[in-house]
Amino acid sequence: MVDQTIDGKTGAPKRTSRSLAAAAQRYGVVVALLALILFNIAATPNFLTWQTLNVNLTQVCAIVIVAVGMTLVIAAGGIDLSVGSLMAIAGTLAPLIFTGALFHLPTTAVGIGLAFVLPVIAAAILGLFNGWLVTAFRIQPIVATLVLFIAGRGIAQVMTNGNLQVFKEPAFQVIGLGRIAGIPVQVILMAIIVAAAAFVVRRTLFGRQLLAVGGNPRAARLAGVPARRVTLAVYGISGALAGLAGLVVVARNGASDANLVGLGMELDAIAAVAVGGTLLTGGRAFVVGTLLGAMVIQLVRYTLLANGVPDAAALVVKAGLIILAVWIQQQAKGE
Amino acid sequence: MSTIEAAAPARRTRSPQTLAKAGVVAALVLLILFGWARYDNFLSSYNILSFLRYNAMFALIALGMCFVIITGGIDLSVGGVAALGSVVAAQASGYGLVPGVAAGIATGLAAGAVNGVVITRLQIAPFIATLATMLAAYGTALLLSGNQSVSVSYDTAFTEFGQGDLMGFPIPAIVMIVVTLGGWFVLERLPTGRRVLAVGGGEDAARLMGLDVERLKFGVYAASGALAGLAGAILAAQFGAGQPTEGVGWELFAIASVVVGGTLLTGGVGSVGATFAGAMLLALLFNLLNFENGKGWISLSAYWQSVIRGLFLLAFVLLQARIARTQED
Amino acid sequence: MTLVSMRGVTKAFSGVPALIDASLEIEPGEVMALVGQNGAGKSTLIKILTGAYRRDAGTVTLSGREVDFASPGAAQDAGISTIYQEINLVPHRTVAENIFLGREPKRWGMIDIGRMNREAEAALARFGITVDVRTPLSGFNAATRQMVAIARAMAREARLVIMDEATSSLDEREVATLFQTIRTLKAQGVGVLFVSHRLDELYAVCDRVTVMRDGRTIGVHAMNAVSKMDLVTAMLGRALAAAERDLSASHGQGAGAPVVEAAHLAAGRRVRDVSVAVREGEVVALAGLLGSGRTETARLLFGADRPDGGRLTVGGEERQFREPAEAIAAGFGFCSEDRKVEGIIPDMSVVENLTLALMPRLTKAGVIDRAAQRDVAETFIRKLGVKLASPDQKIRELSGGNQQKVLLARWLAMNPKLLIVDEPTRGIDVGAKAEILKLIRDLSGQGLGVLMISSELEEVISLASRVVVLSDGRDVAELSGEAISEHGMMAAMAADAEPRSGHG
């Protein structure tokens, strides 16, 4: 279809006709965010306060951290449904470690340290397991990650027999409650992750190879791109970030409930990625877009709640928002 | 006229799907035999009938999912639509059994139609479109119910639809069997079914062959929605209440059933019978776990069921990947 | 009355015109050829006639009645049957279903499976094909699938049959059978629109020819009143004599040390026993009919697939490539026959596509040196004369010929020892074709070893210093020097093909 529409000498004519839609795709999420902020300044009392900013940022942190991993997986042509379950596993493991329930601890400090490191490693290994299923057996990503979606939460529940773990361990809870120069640690963490991922995608070999694998896996392999290794790594990263997000959530709550940590997170993360402008077909990644996408979704919910609209209605609005965002992308891509 | 030799003789090996189908049926039979040999009351009519009664809604949802996946799509909204269907059915249950059930089905049908329109008209990927519908369905269910479960009317026969029997057989099980047979008939014997398979096998090809691809796709999402609504009506009748927060993860359970049944997520192939067997298999694992706990030798918490289900899914998926690979060579 | 008349047809995609005032007329019982370069608008014109696209302006009449088909289904109901360029069938479904999909024989609303299978068998028997129609189509080779597509088009009563490159995957005998069918249709008063890149076929079966260029119809001629040269000149709009002469210069001589030697390669059913060697500075062609194992052999050499047996010697050392990356490290490059599926990364820029294989060498501590990357890309864009608006343009926006140049540059940037090119000129217009062939010749002149696969015998003759002929997964002949001729190659391919058909 395309070959007739393009003249060999120049690709220019195409641009003008689609420029508006392309701009909408690229900057639509920014415009939406600005519009929401302006609306709130006008309509919502006490919107411009640290309090509001804090509430919204902390609400969005865990989703963004997971969604960054999801952005990479989707850009590489996959999808990861297991992130919510991996959050539950990491979030369950951490208290088990620092309370010494899992193994004997020499000192509390060691326990805290291990409680940060081991759950993330465990989640990363499970992520690699996803990647292994996808690369070694050529199982479709939806199916491969469905295995851990189902089994992963079960593993977390079995570890605690489904019981709620309540704890008070300030040294560990820094990751969810601490502040540096008044900024919540989790927000700093989120910012670092977003910046690092954006840099990796734009400037590094790994980032470009990831997009090549997502854009055309067969061509990438024939051009010498280590497609398997890249895919494996991407799922590993997604797992690790999900694990980290799990720690943030339990630290914030001071409690870990294997039944609830990360429940439905896979779909929230995918929604943030989609609203942020990353096509689900792979080959493209807008990491910053994902951050903004998550913020738009959060702010819509906040705006509705702050203006007396029930949470349930916010779900319906969120649904419309997702469709609208993807529809705009579709227009930008053109037929 | 010279006979053409270039036409490769067809390989008379069985297709991967046939083998996978045989696999899931064999596994189901083995598990039943295992349960029969190990547990006293496993094949008691009480266990069989209540098993069928409480798993009917999962089988219905898996059936709808099977049709959607055959077209190369996916329907993530079924859990939310079932929840919405249960709320609406409960609210309509005061008018009687039939109006209650019809309200549930109609609600699901409407949600499925929305999916169909968004996917075929706006050209939005099924994954995203149905994800959005799922959110909207839960939102609507919560709005209609005021964030709590909606009690059904006990003045009418509505609860019979979930709890009652017909000639000694649970009504939900009868519904499940009739609908599944109907689904099999449509897929295997009606032109529509073969065309649905063709759409999944190659959408552009099907379009150029003159099939109305959009209408067929619309049809499968509408059907999937209607079946989810029906499942919602059963849910409400069984629990005596519409459950606006029920159904979380049902969509993925249904996908797992379809996958265990050997249907490719890429579309173009699929079997109603194997999907039904897959759903029954996954449900049976839970049933067996209950019996094992009943023996008192080991005590596996109910949480093990998802671990075991996950392992089963893994085993099937690996097996299918292996079969697919040996077929390639 | 004229069967089909299209006049003043205009169509644009996102503002870019694909057809400008195109026209086409076909009489009942006439075989009309439609020719033009890629991008001339043939496919668009056909798709408007078959209802796959809607026209922006113009009139289309069928037997004098104005029509505007909203869908392929509507066109089929009006008696237009089409065999498309890419075989448009459904691989997972059975042969019989593929023939009858959309108009299955029914009894009481149900598909009458027995009747459908019987009728499918009968439809195929018309073409001398006997297969089990109950097996999925995916088990058959391209030629059989093509015949199934043809049987599908013929199985319904048609007033007009359109064949868009229907012969591209058929061998000569199958083409002969198809031509027989066309003549039968003609005798029944059915009109046929025949599109083919093989000009000889047009002369064999067509009555008239419509020539298109740049979205316009530029001429209609009686087939027996127009020469091949005239046709080509009309399609191109200029004489291509210069480019062609350039190619007919002497073959590369003085080949050096062997770059790669493969002995007795085997893999699955497609490659049974193939030995081939390429030396520095020579172009070796793998010739053979479709399905003879040419592409599969090339993929084995490049590590894209694993061999079951055989030895591979690279630079005097025995090697086994498990991944293309290893072959690339050993100095190999591979341009696949399918640019879209195995070549370009559509959404990435020309710069990135061009440097995709080279990228690891342009990287410091994992970070890409973008200035160096751009330098390399610009150098090769200039060297190969790639026409583009900007190096940052997405590669999918380039024409086929320019995409192919970028893909060749991807390997040339690696400074390879061996370049494997599989159908390097497929789907590329005649002008770019000549440039690409010249480029390959120049490279081999500079010492590069080239292994070429091409179905166009003329290309092989003009470029190859040696030809290895494959048949049914075995190398059956090696030709060099004077023996490389159309006749020589045909004889070698036929020599092995003939006796087998005796037993079959």
Work out the angle between the directed axes of helices A205-215 and A227-253 (0-180°, nearest 10): 110
Q: What is the DSSP string of B102-143?
A: HHHHHHHHHHHHHHHHHHHTS---HHHHHHHHHHHHHHHHHH
Most confident of B103-117, B188-202, B205-219: B103-117
Pairing type for strands C65-66 and C57-62 reads antiparallel
Are C91 and B201 inside 8 Å of each other by CB? yes
Are B3 and C130 inside 8 Å of each other by CB? yes
pLDDT tens, residue by residue, A3-20: 333 333 333 344 444 566
Are A224 and C324 inside 8 Å of each other by CB? yes
pLDDT band at B87 (very low <50, low <70, confident <90, very high): very high
- B8: pLDDT strictly greater than 80: no
A316 Cα distance to chain centroid: 21
pLDDT tens, residue by residue, A200-238: 999 999 999 999 999 999 999 999 999 999 999 999 999
Give domain status of residue B35, yes or no.
Answer: no
The rounded percent of chain C whose pLDDT value lies above 70 is 91
Work out the angle between the directed axes of helices A185-203 and A287-306 (0-180°, nearest 10): 140
- Partners of B210 on chain C (C-beta within 8 Å) are 71-73, 75-77, 102
Residue C437 contacts B where some CB pair is shorter than 8 Å: no
Nearest C-alpha in C relative to A12:
C389
Give the model's pLDDT for residue C498. Answer: 41
Give the model's pLDDT for residue C494. Answer: 64
Average pLDDT over residues A188-203: 96
Pairing type for strands C418-422 and C332-335 reads parallel
- A275: pLDDT strictly greater than 70: yes
Average pLDDT over residues B20-25: 83
Host domain of residue B184: 44-290+299-328
Q: Do domains C4-240 and C241-331+417-504 have the same CATH topology?
A: yes
Instruction: Provide the shortest C-alpha distance from residue B188 to chain C (in Å).
Output: 9
Residue C135 contacts B where some CB pair is shorter than 8 Å: yes
- A44: pLDDT strictly greater than 50: yes
Residue B289 contacts A where some CB pair is shorter than 8 Å: no
Nearest C-alpha in A relative to B76:
A267
Give domain status of residue B12, yes or no.
Answer: no
Pairing type for strands C258-267 and C309-314 reads antiparallel
Residue B205 contacts C where some CB pair is shorter than 8 Å: yes
CA distance C83 to B251: 40
**Which domains does chain A carry?**
50-333 (1.10.3470)
Instruction: Provide the shortest C-alpha distance from residue B18 to chain C (in Å).
Output: 12
Nearest CB among A154, A311, A313 relative to B310 is that of A154
CA distance A218 to A319: 34
| A10 or A251, which is more confident | A251
Instruction: Report whether C452 contacts C463 (CB < 8 A).
Output: yes
Give domain status of residue B6, yes or no.
Answer: no
pLDDT band at B5 (very low <50, low <70, confident <90, very high): very low
pLDDT tens, residue by residue, C422-441: 988 876 776 778 888 888 98
Give the model's pLDDT for residue B329. Answer: 46
Instruction: Indicate the domain borders of chain C.
Output: 4-240, 241-331+417-504, 342-415
CA distance A272 to A7: 37
Give the model's pLDDT for residue B86. Answer: 96
CA distance A71 to A54: 24
pLDDT tens, residue by residue, C76-134: 889 898 887 666 788 888 899 888 888 888 888 888 889 999 999 988 887 777 888 88
Instruction: Provide the shortest C-alpha distance from residue B158 to chain C (in Å).
Output: 35
Which run of H or of E encompasses C309?
A: strand C309-314
Give domain status of residue B103, yes or no.
Answer: yes
pLDDT tens, residue by residue, A49-69: 888 888 888 889 999 999 999
pLDDT band at B12 (very low <50, low <70, confident <90, very high): very low
Most confident of A154-163, B75-84, C250-259: B75-84
CA end-to-end distance (rounded Å), chain B: 34
- Partners of A329 on chain B (C-beta within 8 Å) are none
- C457: pLDDT strictly greater than 90: no
Greatest alpha-carbon span in chain B: 78
- B4: pLDDT strictly greater than 50: no
CA distance A266 to A246: 13
Instruction: Provide the shortest C-alpha distance from residue C90 to chain B (in Å).
Output: 5
Give the model's pLDDT for residue C175. Answer: 83
Give the model's pLDDT for residue C496. Answer: 53
- With the C-alpha atoms ordered C394, C398, C400, C406, is the resulting torsion angle positive or negative? negative
- Any idea what the CATH number is for the domain that residue B217 is in? 1.10.3470
- C38: pLDDT strictly greater than 70: no
Pairing type for strands C283-287 and C216-222 reads unpaired
- Count of domains for chain B: 1
Give domain status of residue B38, yes or no.
Answer: no
- What CATH number has the domain spanning C4-240? 3.40.50.300
Instruction: Report whether A265 contacts A83 (CB < 8 A).
Output: yes
Task: Name residue C399's amino acid.
Answer: S
pLDDT tens, residue by residue, C145-164: 888 888 888 877 889 999 88
- Partners of B311 on chain A (C-beta within 8 Å) are 151
Give domain status of residue B285, yes or no.
Answer: yes
pLDDT band at A21 (very low <50, low <70, confident <90, very high): low
pLDDT tens, residue by residue, A88-144: 999 999 999 998 888 888 888 899 999 999 999 999 999 999 999 999 988 889 889
Give the model's pLDDT for residue C350. Answer: 94
Q: List residues bridging with C61 in a β-sheet.
A: C5, C66
| C289 or A39, which is more confident | A39
Give domain status of residue B9, yes or no.
Answer: no
Nearest CB among C73, C111, C500 relative to B212 is that of C73
CATH fold of C241-331+417-504: Rossmann fold (3.40.50)
- In a mutational test of the A interface, the residue from B124, B266, B281, B286 whose CB has the highest number of chain A CBs within 10 Å is B124
Alpha-carbon distances, residue C370 vs A76, A117, A211, C346 (angstroms): 22, 35, 16, 20
